[in-house]
């Protein structure tokens, strides 16, 4: 068979059938690795969004205004009461900023999972399964939501204001600590989106429950979690470890007392959570292929 022509297949049925794809490059050249494909997909999503730059800008600006309005509620409470369990507004701004930065990044990166129920409902997930690549990769690559720049900017503004009010802005070590916390927090929220997508394999109606934990978690973690009843505190420390993305990294920094490694180690919990979610996701895919939903 002339390898240059992939046309003649009449070889009498001997040998493996169908023949292995001759066009396939099993040497996995770097351009076809997972990262390459991810960037290819994401670049397409970015280009699609950039087709309407005005609408993108408006959406991001609108998002910034909306999230800043949300902060007004917190500001109003401090205006009236000055402190909450000893924490000042500037301190709470750090908690608030960290959780919003993490959530904004996760919403941008994990959009494919966040909107996954639509894929199941319309049967588009079948098309994903027909591709010889990792489903997680293909779903993540579906969309990188740029408009979340709005919430990201809000988080950055509030965090920056808190840092400068507390005189922390000039310490690079603090910035590194916080960046690491944001990375862990992003992983954690992505894990929640994956979990939400996993539930969609069973029911597309109960996703709001997971929203309770994501949006509710954002709301909850905007304050230091020691202001909550112990049950809430326990849930967000041990089950969905939101405490690891701002409370634990910041407590040592602002209050002292914790050994330094606690703040550095805590964000690992977010990555662990993501790993567990992905494991459950795989289980969900197996369930999907055995029921066809």
Residues between 205 and 234 that touch another protein (CB under 8 A):
205-209, 211-212, 216, 219-220, 223, 227-229, 232
DSSP-derived letter for residue 87 is: B
Residue 59 is a binding residue for another protein (CB under 8 A): yes
DSSP-derived letter for residue 19 is: P
The Cα–Cα gap between 158 and 163 comes to 9
What part of residues 159-198 is at the interface with another protein (CB under 8 A)?
A: none
Q: Is the link from the previous residue into 18 a cis peptide, with omega within 30 of 0?
A: yes
What part of residues 101-140 is at the interface with another protein (CB under 8 A)?
A: 122-124, 126-127, 129-133, 138
What part of residues 75-104 is at the interface with another protein (CB under 8 A)?
A: 76-77, 79-86
Shortest CB 65 distance to another protein, Å? 8
The answer to whether 215 and 240 are in contact (CB under 8 A) is no
Shortest CB 137 distance to another protein, Å? 10
Residue 48 is a binding residue for another protein (CB under 8 A): yes
Burial class (CB in 10 A: 0-12, 13-18, 19+), 10: exposed
Three-state SS at 102 = helix
Shortest CB 181 distance to another protein, Å? 22
The Cα–Cα gap between 102 and 73 comes to 20
Closest to another protein by CB, 165 vs 211, is: 211
What part of residues 15-34 is at the interface with another protein (CB under 8 A)?
A: 15-26, 28, 31-32
């Amino acid at each position: 068979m002339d390898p240059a022509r992939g046309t003649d297949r009449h070889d009498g049925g001997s040998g493996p059938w169908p023949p292995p794809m001759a066009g396939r490059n099993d040497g996995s050249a770097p351009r076809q690795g997972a990262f390459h494909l991810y960037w290819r997909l994401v670049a397409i999503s970015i280009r699609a969004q950039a087709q309407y730059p005005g609408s993108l800008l408006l959406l991001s600006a609108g998002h910034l205004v909306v999230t800043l309005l949300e902060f007004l509620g917190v500001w109003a409470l401090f205006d009236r009461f000055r402190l909450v369990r000893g924490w000042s507004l500037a301190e709470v701004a750090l908690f608030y900023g960290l959780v919003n930065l993490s959530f904004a990044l996760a919403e941008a990166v994990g959009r494919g999972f966040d909107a996954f129920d639509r894929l199941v409902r319309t049967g588009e997930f079948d098309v994903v399964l027909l591709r010889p690549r990792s489903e997680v990769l293909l779903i993540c690559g579906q969309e990188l939501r740029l408009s979340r720049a709005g919430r990201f900017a809000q988080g950055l503004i509030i965090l920056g204001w808190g840092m400068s009010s507390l005189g922390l802005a000039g310490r690079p070590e603090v910035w590194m600590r916080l960046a690491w916390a944001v990375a862990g927090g992003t992983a954690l929220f992505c894990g929640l989106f994956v979990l939400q997508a996993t539930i969609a394999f069973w029911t597309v109606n109960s996703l709001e429950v997971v929203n309770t934990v994501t949006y509710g978690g954002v709301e909850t973690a905007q304050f230091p979690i020691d202001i909550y009843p112990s049950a809430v505190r326990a849930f967000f420390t041990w089950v969905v470890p939101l405490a690891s993305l701002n409370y634990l990294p910041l407590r040592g920094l602002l209050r002292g007392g914790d050994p330094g490694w606690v703040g550095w180690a805590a964000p690992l919990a977010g990555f662990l959570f993501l790993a567990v979610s992905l494991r459950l996701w795989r289980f969900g895919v197996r369930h999907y292929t055995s029921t066809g939903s």
